[in-house]
Amino acid sequence: MPNPINIGISACLVGQPVRYDASAKTSAFCVNELGKHVQYRAFCPEVAIGLPVPRSTIRQINTNDVISVSRPDGSNNVTEALAEYGKRVAKLAEKFSGYIFCAKSPSCGMERVKVYSADGKSAKSDGVGIFAAEIMKANPLLPCEENGRLNDPIIRENFVARVFAYKAWKDLLKSGLTKHKLIQFHSCYKYTVMAHDLIAYKALGQLLARADIAVEEMAELYIAGLMTALKIKATRKKHANTLQHLQGYFSKKLSPLERQELAQQIDDYRQGLVPLVVPLTLIKHYLLIHPLSYIAQQTYLNPYPEQLKLRYGY
Ligand code: SF4
């Protein structure tokens, strides 16, 4: 890959037998599908800090509101070592476009990690893996997900779309930031943002119209706003609304029958009768017949490689 999309990932998810029982937790989606389009950088923090494979289980323990990671009896406290390693990988992650963590791990879990009481008699699922926390704290805009959540088609699509958007942003910065490029970038993402968050759609447009801030500050505010907006789930209703806006560009170019067909497909999608790919395919078909450069450049139509088939399931 000449300009790869680098994604950090828990090593066990790509088949490395590094878990406590020397097994892997291979994610078929990550390896067989997404893996064809990105380059993984795999990390196992527990092995990296010197724990053996296989090893005794470790867990998060809350002692007077201080979270530590150790064996259930409190021995072999590795909290500091995991955090230190997390800080090192967090620096590398500045070059990544996403991170996929292994769920529930006291080191790698992104959320809902089990935290035991000091006496081991009770547990709450409200922790964050010590290693994962450092990565996310140092890279707040980095798209992050867990393997389990990626089984949900909407969350999966959302994560991949964010990864590709973040990569496009990094490429823009690498090419040299200018106000013109920033505006051009936004014009490509307009309908993507609209499908996620109408308020952000308006706010980002207003941000780019400001004349009182430097382009660097504008870019920082822009990417923070964009990545926050893309995290919001694009619902069926919001997609249907976005599709209708796109439909508007064709209204004068289509025959009454074609217009009716597109309107019907959007409505079928709104009602859950067909997946998103159906009206989108028709729009792309009309775009071939009636080229509209402004619409053709919209990432909403092609946010990531079609082979991932992420818009077939909802
Ligand atoms: S969850 Fe993290 S620490 Fe545990 S085996 Fe996988 S990569 Fe290693």
Residues 201-259: pLDDT tens digits?
999 999 999 999 999 999 999 999 999 999 999 999 999 999 999 999 988 899 999 99
Check whether 1 has a pLDDT greater than 80. Answer: no
Give the per-residue pLDDT at 218: 98
Cβ distance 295 to 287 under 8 Å?
A: yes
Q: How far is CA 23 from CA 26, 29, 110, 145, in A?
A: 9, 18, 21, 21
Q: Which domain holds residue 235?
A: 152-314
- Per-state percent for the chain, helix, strand, coil, to nearest 5: 50, 10, 35
Q: How far does the centroid of ligand 1 lie from the alpha carbon of residue 20, in Å?
A: 8
Q: How far is CA 59 from CA 20, 74, 107, 114, 203, in A?
A: 12, 9, 9, 8, 43
Q: Are residues 237 and 310 in the same domain?
A: yes
- The response to whether residue 135 sits with its C-beta less than 6 Å from ligand 1 reads no
Q: Are residues 161 and 298 in the same domain?
A: yes
**What percent of the chain is predicted at pLDDT more than 70?**
100
pLDDT top residue among 1 and 269: 269
Cβ distance 187 to 294 under 8 Å?
A: yes
Phi, psi of 4 (to 5 degrees): -70, 155
Mean pLDDT of the chain: 96
- The response to whether residue 19 sits with its C-beta less than 6 Å from ligand 1 reads yes
Cβ distance 83 to 137 under 8 Å?
A: no
Is residue 1 included in any domain, yes or no? Answer: no
Give the per-residue pLDDT at 14: 98
Instruction: For Cα atoms 158, 198, 236, give the angle at the middle one, nearest 5 degrees.
Output: 50
Q: Are residues 143 and 156 in the same domain?
A: no
Give the per-residue pLDDT at 250: 87
Residues 6-31: pLDDT tens digits?
999 999 999 999 999 999 999 999 99
Cβ distance 61 to 29 under 8 Å?
A: no
Average pLDDT, integer, range 74-79: 97
Q: Are residues 247 and 304 in the same domain?
A: yes
Residues 112-126: pLDDT tens digits?
999 999 999 999 999
Q: How far does the centroid of ligand 1 lie from the alpha carbon of residue 164, in Å?
A: 25
Check whether 299 has a pLDDT greater than 80. Answer: yes
Q: Are residues 108 and 248 in the same domain?
A: no
Give the per-residue pLDDT at 313: 79
pTM of the predicted model as reported, rounded to 2 decimal places: 0.96
Q: How far does the centroid of ligand 1 lie from the alpha carbon of residue 8, in Å?
A: 13
Give the per-residue pLDDT at 156: 96
Q: Are residues 198 and 141 in the same domain?
A: no
Cβ distance 126 to 133 under 8 Å?
A: no
- The response to whether residue 58 sits with its C-beta less than 6 Å from ligand 1 reads no
Q: How far does the centroid of ligand 1 lie from the alpha carbon of residue 27, in Å?
A: 13
Q: Are residues 45 and 83 in the same domain?
A: yes
Average pLDDT, integer, range 262-278: 96
If we measure between CA atoms, which residue out of 53, 49, 147, 54 comes closest to residue 107? 49
